[in-house]
Amino acid sequence: MSRRVAIAGASGYAGGELARLVTEHPELDLVTVTANSNAGKPLGEVHPHLAALGLTLRETTPAVLNGHDVVFLALPHGTSGELGDALDAQLVVDCGADHRLTDESDWADFYGGVFSQPWVYGMPELPEATATLSDATRIAVPGCNATAVTLGFAPLVFRGLVDTTDLVSVLAVGVSGAGKSLREDLLASEVLGSASAYAVGGSHRHNPEIRQNLQRLGADEVTLSFTPILVPMARGILATNTATLRGGVTATEVRSAIDVFYAENPFITLLPEGRQPRTADVLGSNATHLQVVVDERANRVVVTAAIDNLGKGTAGAAIQSTNLALGFPESLGLSVIGVAP
Ligand SMILES: NC(=O)c1ccc[n+]([C@@H]2O[C@H](COP(=O)([O-])OP(=O)(O)OC[C@H]3O[C@@H](n4cnc5c(N)ncnc54)[C@H](OP(=O)(O)O)[C@@H]3O)[C@@H](O)[C@H]2O)c1
C-alpha cells in the first residue's frame, strides 16, 4: 500500500522538486501540498510544470499535515523546528537546517533563534549512516553546498590522506539555491552574464555542518575556507575542493580511496580520468559526479564534485533517506540520468 505523503512548502523550489519526485515514486502517494503566502492557489499556478497533479496548496499547519504517513518539510530555517514537534507522521523529513546541527553554539553563531534537537542526518554516504537511517522516524536532509563539499572530501578524510586543517572549497552555485522568494539581487538583469561570491570569509551557514560531517569521518580538527559563487544557471553546484596531501600519498592511492569508498554507492560516479564533472550532466537526477587530480607542484589534491542542488542537494537526498527509513531499496524512484544539455 502506498504511503500517504504531505509536502509543506510545496510552493518553493525544494518543495516543488519533492512534489515531482514523490509523484514518480512507486510507493509514495502525494496527497497534500501546503504553502504560506500561496496557500489557496492551485499548485499548477505556482509551479506550471506540476499543473497535471491537480492539487491545491493548503495552509501549513499541524492540523493539515497530520494524518499522513510521511511529511516532507521544505520551509525556511527556523520554521520547521516547532512545527516538526507537532506532527504525528511515522516519518518526518526536514529539508531545512533546523535539525542538522548537533552543537547548539554552532546554531547560535550561524543561524540564531531557538535551537532544535538534531534529527538523524540524512547522508547515507557517511559511516554507519545507512543503519541509523533504517530506524529513523525524523530525518534532517543535508544542505546542498554541504553535500557537494562533504562528498568530495569524504573518502580522503576517512582514509586520513589529507591535512584537514588546510581545506579549501570554492563552489559555483545556481540561483535556485537561494529559493523562490523575490530578491532584487537575484533578478535576471543582476545575475545573467555575471558571477559574484557571497558569504565570503567563513560566514556561510553550511560551514559548521561540513565540519560536523568531516569530524564524523574521522577528522580531529577541521579548518575549511569555503567560498560560494553565484553563477548564472538555474540549478546545479560545482564544488572545487582542494586539500594538502599528507606526506607520501600518491595520486593512485587517492583515486583508489574514492573508488573503494563509493564502490557500493548507486548515485556517486568517479568519472574516467581526464573528464571533469559538469553540472549539466547531473541536473534532474540524484547523481553526484566526481573527479580527482593531484596538483604535484602545489602538493594539493583537487576533487571536483557536481550535483543538482535540488536533486542530490535536497529533494533527491530526502527521497533517498526516506527509502532507507521505510525499508525500500535506496534508489527506488530516483534516477542517475541527467537532462543535459
Ligand atoms: N533551494 C535549494 O537548492 C535548497 C537546497 C537544500 C536545502 N534547501 C532548504 O529547503 C528549504 C526550502 O528552500 P527553498 O529553496 O525551496 O525556499 P523557497 O523557494 O523560498 O520556498 C520556501 C517555502 O516555504 C514557505 N514558507 C515561507 N515562509 C513560511 C512560513 N513562515 N511558514 C510556513 N511556510 C513558509 C513558502 O511558501 P509561500 O511561497 O507560499 O510563501 C515556500 O513554500 C530551506 O530551508 C532551504 O535552506 C534548499
3-state class (DSSP) for residue 241:
strand
The Cα–Cα gap between 129 and 324 comes to 10
Identify the pLDDT of residue 152: 98
The predicted-structure confidence for 228-257, as pLDDT tens digits, reads as follows 999 999 999 999 999 999 999 999 999 999
Query: What average pLDDT does range 72-82 have in this prediction?
Result: 95
Domains of the chain, CATH where assigned: 3-141+312-325 (3.40.50.720), 145-309 (3.30.360.10)
Tell me the CA–centroid distance for residue 11 and ligand 1, in Å.
Answer: 8
Mean predicted lDDT score pLDDT of the chain: 97
Tell me the CA–centroid distance for residue 199 and ligand 1, in Å.
Answer: 19
Find where cell 565570503 sits. 200
Query: Residue 335 gets which letter from DSSP?
Result: -
CA angle 260, 151, 99 (to 5 degrees): 130
The residue whose CA is least distant from atom 2 of ligand 1 is: 177
The predicted-structure confidence for 124-142, as pLDDT tens digits, reads as follows 999 999 999 999 999 999 9
The Cα–Cα gap between 146 and 106 comes to 15
Q: Which residues are CB-neighbours of 333 under 8 A, at least 6 positions away?
A: 21, 24, 25, 26, 27, 28, 319, 323
Tell me the CA–centroid distance for residue 273 and ligand 1, in Å.
Answer: 38
282 contacts 311 by C-beta, under 8 angstroms = yes
Identify the pLDDT of residue 340: 85
Identify the pLDDT of residue 341: 84
For ligand 1, mutation pick of 46, 75, 100 (most atoms within 8 Å of CB): 75
The Cα–Cα gap between 167 and 157 comes to 11
Q: Which residues are catalytic?
A: 144
CA angle 82, 87, 89 (to 5 degrees): 145
The predicted-structure confidence for 184-215, as pLDDT tens digits, reads as follows 999 999 999 999 999 999 999 999 999 999 99
Query: What average pLDDT does range 54-71 have in this prediction?
Result: 98
